[in-house]
Amino acid sequence: MRFRDSITLHICPLLLRIGLAAAFLWAGIPKWGNETFEGPAAATLVELGIGHKTAVAGRASPTPPAGAKEPERPGSTPVVEPPAPQESPDSAQQPGEEPSSDTPPAIEEGADDQGEQDQPGEPSVEQPAPPTTTPPETKPAELVEKPDVGDAAGATVQYKVDAKKVEGITVMLHDVGHPYPRIFAWIAMLTETVGAGLLLIGLFSRVWGLGLAVAMGYAFKLSTLPQIQSHMSAATGFLGALSELDYFWQLVAFYQLMLFIAAWCIFIGGPGAVSLDRLIFRGGHNEED
């Protein structure tokens, strides 16, 4: 075999393996670390029962405007406020004037008519005014909130969840309705880390090449393809929508495409001579022309 052909068959697969291992290890190793999730991601993890959740201060009920009374609780007795005594204008004492002893007490309007109907010799009895009941004031509709189950204060309970960073993939798979999202998220992370490490030394290279190609294809489907579809129309098409993406998403798209093709090359062409696969399964003998 000529030297040029030997480099093509053995050195090029080695360079592809090094590039794939560097890219996937760089992306996969940080997923073993911990991260604090908040907002919708934390709510999804709480729903799935993943991670250690910590309750944080929620959103309390709005404060009613100044002067507004609190609504009465069901079953409570309304408070009746007695009417304030009114002073007759005739009996009002002017400043500096001495009170007159012969001035009769103030009588409400209509007392003269009532006195004509009274029997002679009987004193006139003034009927007290009926008590007035103040109706309870209610909050406007926009100020009333329904409390969560188990939350008597009416505040919305929110959580922070401490979990592995790989659970971010779990949330992503759950949002798209993928079955068993946590299992597939951990399979993807193990493929990126363990698979990339074994691909670097050339052990079971074809298996890990296929696994990395599938993982990268699915990552393209979840992250980049929705961005392209948001810009796609009948006039632009796929390539036109790709050209309208932001520069960052264009880099991501071509980066994922490059890794996808490189992983397929390892699966189809093999790891080359500089690998444990060649040493173990072929006894260290090189291929002949």
**pLDDT at res. 147:** 41
State the sign of the Cα–Cα–Cα–Cα dihedral 119, 120, 122, 124. positive
Domain end residue (candidates: 116, 148, 164): 164
Output the pLDDT for position 242: 85
Instruction: Indicate the DSSP class of residue 132.
Output: P
Q: Is residue 116 part of a domain?
A: no
Answer yes or no: is 69 within a domain: no
Domain that holds residue 143: 35-59+137-164
* pLDDT band with cut points at 50, 70 and 90 for residue 132: low
**pLDDT of 67 higher than 60:** no
Q: Answer yes or no: is 177 within a domain.
A: yes
Residue 11 within a domain? yes
Q: Are residues 209 and 223 in the same domain?
A: yes
Q: Which tokens sit at 235?
A: 């006039």
> What is the DSSP annotation of 207-276?
HHHHHHHHHHHHHIIIIIHHHHHHH--TTTHHHHHHHTS-HHHHHHHHHHHHHHHHHHHHHHH---SSSH
The mean pLDDT of 171-178, rounded to a whole number, is 91
- Report d(CA 13, CA 276) in Å as an integer: 13
Q: Taking 80 as the threshold, does the pLDDT of residue 41 lie above it?
A: yes
What does the pLDDT average to over 89-116? Answer: 49
Residue 288 pLDDT > 50: no
Q: Is 77 domain-assigned?
A: no
pLDDT score for 169:
92
pLDDT of residue 289: 40
- Whole-number Å distance between alpha carbons of 228 and 60: 40
The alpha-helical segments, DSSP class H, found in 29-99 are 39-48
Helical axes 39-48 vs 167-175, angle rounded to 10°: 90
On the question of pLDDT at 152 being above 50, the answer is: no
Same domain? 193 vs 272: yes
